[in-house]
A and B are shown apart, each in its own frame.
Chain A
Amino acid sequence: MFLIIKRLWQVNWAEQWQYRANLLMYLLYWLVSPIIYLAVWTSIANQKGSVNGFTANDFITYYMLLLICDQVTSNIVIHTFGYKIQDGSLSGELIRPIHPMLTNGLVNNIAFKMLTIMGLTPIWIILYFLFKPDFSSVSITGILLAIPVMLLAFVIGYLLSATVTSLAFWTTRVYSIHEFYFALILLFSGQFVPLTLMPKVIQDIAQYLPFQLLLYYPIQLIRGKLSAEQIMQGYVMAFIWLGISALLFNWVWRNGVKRYSAVGA
């Protein structure tokens, strides 16, 4: 198993490295909206002193950490597998004795991440000097507590995206469904604005959804803004959703593959 992972890593790393120019472009594309939100909210905070307890520096640290968290917890499985299911090229991977999504796909995503994080580092440092955030509220304990939950969130997010992608076994409109899924993330993860500034209804719903684990929860944890009780709650939610998403993915994938082989695509 270890050898398989090693070989998969070599192949996927080489492949992603080939696309490094595309990757840089992706990074650029993905950087813009957090920076715009950052600019919008700091301008409001500067004007009023603070927004609902968030000062301009709070916003800056929030979005600067968001850039990192998003890179760790997000995935590109819809882009790597959606078309494979649709044009039938998944067949080649299905007859191999390893799970396409859980080995090759996962390794591919991690290789992608490594490269984007490599690309992000210098950009992040430049942004650091442009915005000069004050990270004094960040503690080592916060970071150490956030790392496991970010990894859990990546796995949950990966499984959920993989579930949505697997709908391609049934419908050609999987990209539209994914767009809807993406809107849910935007609404409930804290990507647009720290969840506490969202309308009460959204905050209440977000409590029970896994999406806040992707961004809001780890960011606040690193910024030392969560109470011990809230931290506990987050971990419990993470494990519950890990179970739910694993079961969900397993069920959808099994039925999808069954259907795929029946249709003979």
Chain B
Amino acid sequence: MHTLKLLSSFLKVNIQMALAYRADTVVNILLNLMWLGWELLSLNIIFSNTTTLGGWGLGELISLLGVFRLVNTLMIALIWPNTEKFNQSIRDGSMDYTILQPVNSMFLVTFSRITVWRIWDLVLAIILIVVGINMAGDVTTPFNILTFMLLAITGTIIIYSLWIVLIALTFWFTKFDNNVTILQALMDSGRYPATVYPAWLRIIVTFIIPIAVATTIPLQALRGELVIGKILMYVAISFISFFVASKVWKLGLKRYSGASS
């Protein structure tokens, strides 16, 4: 309950910020539409030259674009701005204030910045998913939709955990300003099904920087391509990775306060 109240406080503060820069917000929305146009155009170019990509048709790629935008929105609306704030707070020392607040610091670090206008992107993403599925003409069962949502959440948790670990490394290597570049760099790989990539790249985006876990894999579930055992495996992995991440975060805080040395 208190957590929700805090979240709404953060949201309010961030809405204020978005309003303070309203012209920028409008420009950003326009740019966002421009990139959506580009993404659709690039799919159009690909599919004017072929009918399937990695075994998937145009409709499926549009819904993959939707899933990608869902995850990407999370990144752009939450992860990147908070990374920036986190790195800034390590540099200028305001991290001290974060630690001294009587609220879980991992929670504070995750939600203190929210790029509010990006929320409309989620609507766009869902439209893309629905339109894509309709175009593909797949028969989706309620079970498939449920597993899709479940795996989108677990994939997100896995990426989130990786993010926590990456920024927590800053507690050990103070100059590690590039802590999330690798995540940012590989993000784009989520636009296309992981099945088109050469084996080495597929291994990277599935196991090391698991972008595909939150994009390709939920969509496979939506299309009923995953067996129940695999679904359960992803759920288990997300629990484990979240647990590991919060442990690493705690160790990092200890390191910051000099408790470990």
Contacts and interface: CB of A to CB of B under 8 A. Distances in A.
Interface bracket on B: 20 to 34
Contacts of A179: 31
A3 interface: no
Contact of B53 (A35, A44, A180, A197): A44
Given A40-B53, A44-B46, A183 B35 contact: yes
Interface stretch (A153-161, A186-194, A226-234, A257-265): A186-194
B189 A28 contact: no
14 contacts: A25-B182, A32-B189, A35-B201, A36-B188, A36-B191, A40-B53, A44-B49, A47-B50, A47-B52, A52-B49, A173-B24, A176-B31, A179-B31, A198-B45
Interface of B: 23-24, 27-28, 31, 34-35, 38, 42, 45-46, 48-50, 52-54, 175, 177-178, 181-182, 184-186, 188-189, 191-192, 196-198, 200-201
Contact of A29 (B31, B184, B201): B184
A28 B184 CA distance: 10
B34 A183 contact: yes
Interface in A165-185: 173, 176, 179-180, 183
A199 interface: yes
Interface string A1-35: 00000000000000000000110011011011101
Interface string A122-135: 00000000110000
A48 interface: yes
Nearest to A33: B188
A176 B38 contact: no
Given A21-B175, A36-B189, A36-B191, 18 more contacts: A22-B177, A29-B181, A29-B184, A39-B192, A39-B201, A43-B53, A43-B54, A47-B50, A173-B23, A173-B27, A176-B28, A176-B31, A180-B31, A180-B34, A183-B38, A192-B42, A193-B45, A198-B45
Q: Is the interface of A mostly helix, strand, loop or mixed?
A: helix
Contacts, number: 75
A39 B196 contact: yes
Contacts of B186: 32
Given A25-B178, A173-B27, A179-B31, A36 B49 contact: no
A116 to B, nearest CB: 14
A52 B48 CA distance: 10
Contacts of A180: 31, 34
A119 to B, nearest CB: 14
Contacts of B27: 173, 176
The 9 A-B pairs of least Cβ separation, nearest first, read A29-B185, A25-B181, A25-B178, A43-B196, A44-B50, A176-B27, A51-B49, A39-B197, A32-B185
B203 to A, nearest CB: 12
Contacts of B31: 176, 179-180
Contact of A28 (B50, B181, B196): B181
Nearest to A30: B185
Contacts of B38: 183, 186-187
A31 B188 CA distance: 11
A197 B50 CA distance: 12
A38 to B, nearest CB: 9
A197 B45 contact: yes
A28 B49 contact: no
Interface centre among A26, A36, A47, A187 (most CB of B within 10 A): A36
